[in-house]
Structure formats: C-alpha cells, structure tokens
Amino acid sequence: MTSQIEKIDAFFLEIENQIRLQGEIQYRTDIEQKFKEGKEIIDEIEEDDIEQHGYYRYNYHIKYASYLKTIDEVDRSNKQKNLANKFERYVKNLKNENVCESRSNSITVFNEIFNTDEKYTQDVEKKEVEKKLKEIEEILTKKDDIIETFQEIFNDLYEIPKTFENYKTIIRSITLLSQTVENIIDMELMNKSLNVNVKEKLITSLTCLNSLANDIAYNRRISFIRYILNSSDKTKIIFSNIPFTSGEINKHFKELALYFHPDKTGVYDAPISLRGEHKNLGEDLFKQILKSKRRLLTDLENVIHEEEANEFWKIAIDYRNAAEEKWDKLKVLNQKEINGYTSEELRRFSVTNGKLAFEKYREACKLADATDIKQQIKLRKNMALCLHITGQSLESQLYALSAARMLLLTCPMPTSQDYMEIKKLLDKVKGNKHAPSETSGNITLDLEKLGQRNTFYDKICYQHSINEDIEKIISELMLKPDHNFIRCKSSIFIESTLYYVIGIIAPIVPDIIEIWNSMTRNKLIEIINNALYAYIKGEYQKFINILSEEYKPGDSILRLKKPEDVVVPTNIIKICRDHYIRSDCIAYLLNSIGEVLISQKIKIDGKSANDLKVFAKNIFHGVLNEDLVKDAEKLDDCIHELRKKNISYFSRNFYYPLSWKIYDNLLIEDVYDAQNMPFVSRLEEIRNIARINIVTLDMLTPGPNAIEQAIKIFNEIRKSINGNYQFVGTSKLRLEILRDFFWVIDGKETFEEMDEEFSEESTDSSPSETIDNTYFIYLNEQLKQTTSQSERIKIYNNIATYFEHLAEKDYKINRLNSLRNLNSAQNNYENAREIDPKSLFSALGYTECILKLSKYTQIIELNKASPFLTLSSEYWRFRSIAYCKQTNYNKAYECIIEALRLDPKNKLADKQISFLKKLRNENSSKHRINRYKKEKMYMKYEQDYFLNSRSNENPVYNILSIDGGGIRGILPALWLSEIEHRTRKPISHLFNMITGTSTGGIIAAGLSTPHRENSDFMPKFSASELLDNYQDKTKKLFTINIERKSKAKYTNEDRSNLFKEYFGQIKLSHALTELVIPAINEANSQSVYLFTRNDARNYELKNDTLVNTLMAATSIPTFSSPYEIKQKGLFSDGGMQINNPAMTSFSEAIRYKVASEKIFILSLGTGSYIPNPSNPVLYRDQLFWPSNQFNISYDENEIDRQMYAMLENKYQRWQVSFEEPIKLDALERIPYLVEIGHQYLEELYDSDENPINKLIEYFENRRNDCI
C-alpha cells in the first residue's frame, strides 16, 4: 500500500512538470498518456482503501480538468469537473480522519497564530517528538541505534538557522530522517515476529514522526527566510564565507538557486518546497538573492574595471615615454620588446591604450557609488588624463572641469591638496592655452590657506575661476560636423572654375537644367562654397562677410548691417530650399554659422558677445527644422526605388555633369552619397551635433529653465542615436561626457536608461529549443491529414524550422549532415512558397537557407521573382552578406544601409555594417598582409621554450593539420600568418607535429625547415613568407607542358627547381617538428605512404630529402606525371585519398606513444564546394581531382565528424565554403582567396566564441607551462 501511495505521489509530481511544457505541441500526447497511466495507478488502491482512492481520484480529475481548459478543450474539461464532484466527499472525510497530519500541523498553526517565542516553540516540539519516539521505541526490535539517530537528527532541526550552511543542514537532516523512516518500515514489514496490528501501529507512529519532523523543518526554513528578509545586511548573510571572485559568487548563487528558485520551491512535496501561503516569501527571498549577487558582481566589476584601467594607463604612459625615447621611465613594458617600433607607432599604441583606459575608468565611474564623492572625483580626473593623452583636448577639459565643480559643490571637506591637484590637472589638460586670470592666479597663491580655511569667500573665488575657464573654452566645445561626412568635393577647397555645393542639389526639381542655368542659383552656390572654404581654413570673419554678400539684388544669406538686424534661421532655410540645396548641406551650413557666431573670433557692429550667443542658439535650433527631414526622406525613398529595380550605378571613373539624372529625379552624386548612409541618417548626425551644442550652451551658461530644456534635448538625442547609431558617432562621446558634466551640476542621474538604449548588443536572448524526432513525425502526420492550404503552409514552415534546428546543432560536429538538413529546410520553405508566393516568413527562411548553402547569386536575384522582399530589412541583410561573400563590399554596404533604413533596430544588420566597416576601412586584407611583413622582425625565437614544449612531461601535444588544394593553400598560409603575428612565435614552436597533404605538405615542410641544416630551433621560413610565395611564385608550380610528351598538363621541372631553391639538401630528419606528409605509392596498389620525420630518424632508408618528399606528395594526376624516388617507386599526390590529414596525424601521434588526452589539433581547410549536400561527390572533380578518383568531400566531412567525436573542443577546424569551384591551378583567383581568407579571420574574431583569441590564450598558457 505504501509503495502504491508513493507511485501516485510521483505521478502527480511528474504530471505537474510535464504540464509546464504544455506550450510545446509535441508534449501534449505525452501528457495525455501520463494522465491515462496515472488513473490506472490510482485505481489499483480502490479495493484496499476506498477513502484514499476517492481522495486521489478527486485530485486527479481536478488537475486533468485544469489542464484541458488551458489547451481549450472546454467540453472535456467540464466532463472531468463533473467526475471530480463525485469524489469530493472523500476529500472531506480524509481530512477529518488524518489525525497524524492534524497533530503535526497543530504546531505550525499554533506558531502562526500566537507568534510564540523560540524557546517555548522548541519545548512544544520536543514534547511531541519525545512522545512519538517513546511509542516507536516500545515497538522496535533494534531500538538503540535508531532512536539515537532520530534524536541527533531532531537536534539539528530544533535550532533556527542563521546561515545558509545551517539551512542546508536542515534539508539534509529531514532527507536523512525520511530515508531512515522508509528503511525501518521496509525492514519491519519483513519482520515475521511482529503481528499485523503492531506493524500498523509502528508504521503509523513512524509516519507521524516523519510528518512532525517535516513540519519542524518547514518552520525553521520559514524562520530563516524571514530572518534574511528582515535583516539590515541581507547580502552578508546570503553570501557569507565565500571568496570575492566572480566565479565563486556565481557558483554560490547557483547553489542558492537550487534551494530557493521558485521553480525548485514549487516542486510538489519536496524537502525544499514551499506551501502556497509562503510562496511569496520564497519569491521575495530569491529576488533578494539576485539583487545581492548583482550588487557583489557590480562591486567586483568596479574594482576590476579600475584595476584594468590602471594597467592600460601605465602601458599608455610607457608607450608615450618610449616614443620620446625616455627609456628609463618605463615601468611595465620591456625596452627590448618595443625597440623596433617607430615613434609614430609607439604614439599610436599610447593613444590606443589611453582610450582603453578611459573606457575602463568610465565603466568604473558608472558602477561606483554616487555618494562616494572622492572616488567619483578621482575617476573623473583619471578620465580627463586619458582623454588628454589621446588628443581629445576639449573632452579632457570637460572632465577636469566636472571634477573641479564636484570638488567645490559636493565634496564635504576638501583639503588644500585636493585643490592643488585639481588646479594642476586643469593646467595640464588646457596645455596653458589660456593665460590664468587674475583671480585664478590668486587662488593658486592662496591654495594652502584655502585648504585650511575653506571660507565661503575662498570657494566663491575658486568658483569664479572655474566659470572663467568654462567661458573661455565654450566656443571650442561647439561640435563641428566633419566636412567629409557631407562628402565635400575637393574642388570646394581649391581654386577652380567648377563650383560644387557641399551637399548636392536636391532631387525635388521639376526642370533641373533650367535651375542649373539660373544665374541666381549659381551666385548662391558660389557664395556658399567660398564661405565654407573660409570656414574650413578658420577665417571666421571672412566667412561672415562672404555670407553677407548679395546673391541677388537686395538679398543675402546673412543680413547684419543694421543694429536691429537679427539672424533668422527659417529665412536661411527658405533661401536654400528655394534654390534646391540638399537638406544635409543646409544643416551643415547652419551649424557652421552657429559655431562661428559663438567663437569670439568675429566682430559685428552693434552686436555684443551675448547677442551673438543668442543668435547662435537660434541657428542651432534652426538645424532641427522638420522641412529638412522631409526633404531627406523623399531622397531616401528615391534611392530605395532605385535599389528595388536593380539599376546599375554609374562608374566614378568618368566625369558626369551633376545635373545628369539617372532615375526619376536622382542625380549621380546623390547615388554615390547614398552608398555610405541614408540621407536621413546623414542629416540626423548634424541635427544631433546641433542639439548637443544647444545643451552645451544651456549647461555651461545656465539660464531660466535650462535644466529642464537640457533634459528634453538629451532625451531627443538619445532616441535619435538609438535609431541611427550605426551611422553616427561624432556626437555620442561628447553626449556621454556632457551627461556626466550635467550630473555634477544638477546632482541627479536624470538619464538612467540612456546606456541601456545605447547598447548595441543583440537583445535576442530566446532560449534554445530542444526538438526531438517525435515532433517531426507528428508534423508529417498532420501534413498527410490536413487539406487546409493555410495549415499546410504552417506545417511546411515548422518542418523547415525543425531541419534548421538540426542543421545548427550539427554545424560544428557534422558539417555535411548540417548542409543536408539545410537543404531539407530549403525544400520545405519552397513547398510553402509554392502555396503562398507572398509569404514573407517562408521567403526569408528560404533565403537564409540558401545563404548558408553558399548560393549567393540566387539571393541577389531573388527579389526579381519576389519583389515584396525589398520591403524586408532582413532580406537586405541577407543580400548584403551575399555580396560580402562575393567580396563586392560596396554593394554589400549599400544593401546593409537599406536594411537599416527599413529597420534601424535590426541588431544583426548593425553587426553586419560593423563587420563591413572593418573589411573596407579599418583592417583591409592589404593592410593585414603588410602588417605581417612589417612586424616579422619582432618574432621571438626562444630555445628554452622550444625544447621544453617537446618534453615528454609537457601536458599538451599540439598538431597542425593542413588540407590539400593547390593554389587554395593560400588560405591556411594566411591564417597561420595571423597566428604567428598574434603570438610573435613561429608555427614550429607552437606545434609538436605538422601534417600536410599536397599544397598543405609544402606549407608543413616550409614551416618545419630549419634555418640551417643543423639548427635546433630557428625555422627558415615564416608563415607570412610562404604567403608571399603563394602570391608571387606559384606560377612555377604550374608550368604548362608544351611538348606534351605525357598526358600531364604541367611539367615537373620548374616545380622541382622551386623546391630545390627553398629546401636544398634538407632532409626529413632535420625538420624542427614531427612532420607527416602523405603520398600515394602507385607501385603498391595505390596505398598511402607517409613521409615522416619519426621514421626518417629511425630508418636511414626513409630519410628522404624534402625536395623528393614534396615532389612525390604534389604530383597531381592529370596535372603532372608521377614522381619516382629510387628504390621506392612512383608516387602521386596524397590528396587522392587523404585530403584532410587530421585523422592521419592523430593516428601517428598515438603511434608515437602520445596519450590521446594530451592531443590538440588545429585543422585548416582550403575551401569546400558542395552545391548538392545530398550528393557531395558529384562536383568533387571541379575542386580536387578527376571524378573517377576518390570521395574527397565526403572524406573531409567524415574525418571532421570523427575528430570532433573523439577530441571535442580539442579539435578546431577552420574552413570556408565557395559558391563556385576554384580549381587547383586557378591562379587568377588568388586575390579572391586572399580576401575570403581575410574575411574568415574577421568572422572568427567577430563570433561569440572568438576561436582565435581562445587559441592565442591557449598558446600563451602553454608558454607559461614551458617556461
């Protein structure tokens, strides 16, 4: 009976857990089945105990009815309710009869109602426990040990816990007691000496004791929860006695979650469960645990940020001192390590580390306690210095001034030393640009007295000095849009008969030729260009004078000749719009006028500095005119229509008149400008700059309602940047600094949500789903039965999603299977599209699948068949990626701009535009390769490290495996160059074994060849030198066989000469690492023959020269004749059977007695081409060797699968996919291969896992082990 009750209780627990997943269709069948099984278990006790049976049947039907109602099965739910009503009387009866439960609950009720003191409660509990123990003792046959065990357990339960450890003791104790009771019951049931009545009495007493213990434990747990919630130092109790590290904090939090997470405390009848009336307490406690964890991590993060900032700052100072050849002042860096850099490079390194230090100090400032004024001042001073060293003078001054104002206004007891340090900082960041005022000088002289007296007058003097400093730099704080941002033509700034306006003529023109010929408009353009030319040169007075010239009789852009004249921005805007000047140019012009008016570098008769400041503020407000936005939106719409129609853009290599229209009202220059960003975003950056200038004026020279106005504009900027942050940047740093400055002035953190809004990280945090094969079967069954077309679309899409999930799951461990699943997903999306060609979900799913299948041209042309896709931001993102993979970065950039225009919050599109910026500007492939060449001299050759890494005691054994692939070997050569560049170590020092097939064998031999024949540790070639050879000398590997004495396409002669030039008489035994190069021995039934250093050192007959080895290993069938080695026979390229030699290298390492757990393998591919995953060998001859040879593609993917299965994360595979095949001798594709290899490196850096950094960290840790 007892075991049956336990089964029923287990059923209710399991059904609760399954119902939690009821949102997933695939679980509903399981739930229905579980209910069926549950009823059968309950009915088994009907004959033994009709009351208990009725009680459980009532609970069963109530639970079933509730479940059916949640899934909209109303009729069935009502039936279950009616059945429950039939058993309701048993619930009442059982409650009256359960004496044991009422007795134990009496203690809980007593405590809850009367709130008794702890000692009295313990006395009541002890009496109850002693009574039960006495009853049990009288019956038990072996009583001493058992009673003693019970007493020890109850002793642990009596005390109210004050720590988490005490709490865990209670849980352990009650669990132990329950297990002990169960064991005794089982043991006594088998005791034949006891009669039935005695057994029943013993079982009842033990059950009551267990129930009593559970109630005591429960009371203690509730007391502990209340104790924490009522404590003034909750964090100290919750996180007591743990090391202050993020790992330990998170580890302790996970343990707390096991006991207090609502999902855990909600489990039915578990030792940690909470009853309904106490669930709120449990939730409150878990919220407090989360809060405490976050606070501790924040405090820790603050400490870490500041420590990291300090390190970056020290490095920045060291680099600056090194640039100035002050080597004796180096504190962190080693002169030998940086001696080879130029002064310019060292300064650049200093700036980079200064910026990193600033970011870390700023993060620390955000996290620091706002009431800790001295810490806030200290961090702002540090930020000012960081910005100063990076050349951001004005921003540096702002932080210094904010620190000064904070010291003056909020610091409780500033000392003379505090004032001295601030004054010194201000002088430093200003660079003595402004001579100190008389007041400022007095303050400097009296600082020591000021620190002692701290009189009100002293503070006023100091405040006056700061205000003077603010007034003097206010004009310099005005932000200026970058003229390149508006695409200024170079002809604006040089003498020329051509006049191009800064922005380009707007496209809203009925007859553009007539307007262009207008003398009035020409004159206006001439005035604007001449004025801006003066502005760029810093000739501000001339700028104002030119804008005051008449562009037609009686009219000028500025009219400031009479005392009553004012600057009216709406008039300027109307003049420019009437003459079809583009909106971003108008905004640029207005911002320039405002900046000049406030500069204090001009004089206008009858106008004071304050008058000009008012004019400037009005002008900045004019930049926000909504008509300018509407014009920009119309221009963007025209560009969108152009992109939709796929009209080819004109080449920039030929001059076209600016008035030449190529589509509707668009001009060629508009199209060129649209390639970089939408016109609305272009305009919005200038508008934000104007807004910031307004805020700067309001904050630094506050007037009535200045604070409220600043808050309003701050929020406008925040929303604007949040919607356009992919294209803007000039304004963001200044806004953040002004925000900090505003906080100092106002004393409040008014913009708490801003940083969250600025976050550019993906907000996609949806948990990964687990979908099993049952769901797939269920969907297919539905597909067979349904006749509804809309239902069929849903099912096809769900099946496609299922295959996409499988593809993602298999992507790393089984690449070929992943491609097959993607192919299946594509087919199902296609089925859905056949039913509804306009289904956006199906179309985007289909597009994503073919993107992952490397069908880039199909994606680009997809909008022709499905024009509605051009309204989707995601489609433009996919299209951008497709163009990027084809290395057409300009087109890729245009597409991603369109994606962000349609959806500015598309986080994945934001990632893509950042990625493209890296490829186009920051880190081009050319720049990367030049960097390898330039920094090759800094390679470190450490003999001790090299020898120690070869020691048997070394805990790791690194293997490098390189695929074959002819000219495509340039990919692994590039990737290895990056590894050498990052580690500053030759590849032969990082890997114990290098294995290479065909072209991979050339790289392997090159990296393992010693500098001299008897050299122990210095390689002859670096990876970057091999990369250069692939670019410059590969023609010698493919010399056409003109005489055609054999069927071979190329001769062996030039290839042999090239190998002799590089390797001479070097033999396999001389290699710096274990070397494994496979070839095919044609004399021995096409078997694989391995050229290895290990065999060469053990058997002289196998000690071939590297020349012979490579000639044998690179003799590609039909490309060249088999190569003969005397006494060994004819050899051909090993890639015919082993193109990916990773498994071969692993087997060799095992043969060398290397423990498998020590092995790490980096496997480098040379590109794959699998247009049809269901038949991967169909096109292999286009990438590898003729189709009558071997299954290369399958071999590669199958080896990957096996290696991941064996080594898991100790196996890394780097590989790219091609849309079109690149043959072994396709020399013309070298530039593309370099670019796609460069792209892949950037993708690795950008990925969440960042395998390159992990690999470098792995090598660095290994270096520490070997030193």
| Catalytic positions, written as ranges | 998, 1133
Please answer whether residues 333 and 319 qualify as being in contact, where contact means their C-beta atoms are separated by less than 8 angstroms. Answer: yes
Give the β-pairing of 993-996 and 957-962.
parallel
State both tokens at 581: 């000047």
Beta strands in 497-574 (DSSP E): 550-552, 555-556
Tell me the backbone φ, ψ of residue 408, rounded to 5 degrees. Answer: -75, -40
HEC readout, 465-485: HHHHHHHHHCCCCCCCCCHHH
Encoded tokens for 449: 């007295």
Residue 523 sits at φ, ψ, to 5 deg, of -65, -40
Cα 390 to the chain's mean position, in Å?
A: 27
Residue 617 CA to residue 608 CA, distance in Å, equals 14
Helix (H) or strand (E) segment spanning residue 1211: strand 1211-1214
Q: CB atoms < 10 A from the CB of 519, how many? A: 9
CB 871 within 8 A of CB 826: no
Torsion of CA 961, 966, 971, 977, to 10 degrees: 70
Between CA 322 and CA 342 the distance in angstroms is 10
Distance CA 468, CA 766 (A): 54
| Among 49, 84, 42, 43, residue whose Cα is nearest residue 63 | 84
Decide: 974 and 1250 in contact? Cβ < 8 Å: no
What is the distance between the terminal CA atoms of the chain, rounded to a whole angstrom?
Answer: 68
The pair of three-digit structure tokens given for residue 645, joined into one six-digit string:
């129609």
**What is the distance of C-alpha 416 from the center of its chain?**
46
| Long-range residue pairs from 758-763, CB within 8 A, at least 24 positions apart, any chain | 758/718, 758/721, 758/722, 758/725, 758/732, 760/725, 760/907, 760/910, 761/907, 762/907, 762/908, 762/911, 763/907
What is the token pair recorded at 651? 């080449």
Helix 569-578 with 626-644: angle, nearest 10 deg: 30
Enter the tokens of residue 1102: 């196998």
Strands 993-996 and 1211-1214: unpaired
Coil, strand or helix: which one is 1019? strand
Token output for 461: 């003097």
Four-residue CA torsion sign, 703, 708, 709, 714: positive
Q: Is the dihedral of CA 693, 697, 700, 704 positive or negative?
A: negative
In whole angstroms, how large is the CA radius of gyration of the chain?
A: 39
Helix, strand, or coil (residue 388) = helix
How far apart are the C-alpha atoms of 590 and 597, rounded to whole Å?
A: 11
- Dihedral of CA atoms 604, 606, 608, 609 in degrees, nearest 10, equals -10
Q: What one-character-per-residue DSSP string does 533-587 give?
A: HHHHTT-HHHHHHHHTSEEETTEES---SSTT----HHHHHHHHHHTT--HHHHH
Q: Is-contact 852 807, C-beta < 8 A?
A: yes
At position 490, the amino acid (one-letter code) is S
Structure-token pair, residue 1053: 């002669």
Burial of 226 (0-12, 13-18, 19+ CB in 10 A): middle
16 φ/ψ sector (left φ>0, alpha ψ -120 to 50, else beta)? alpha
Residue whose structure tokens are 């007593």: 110
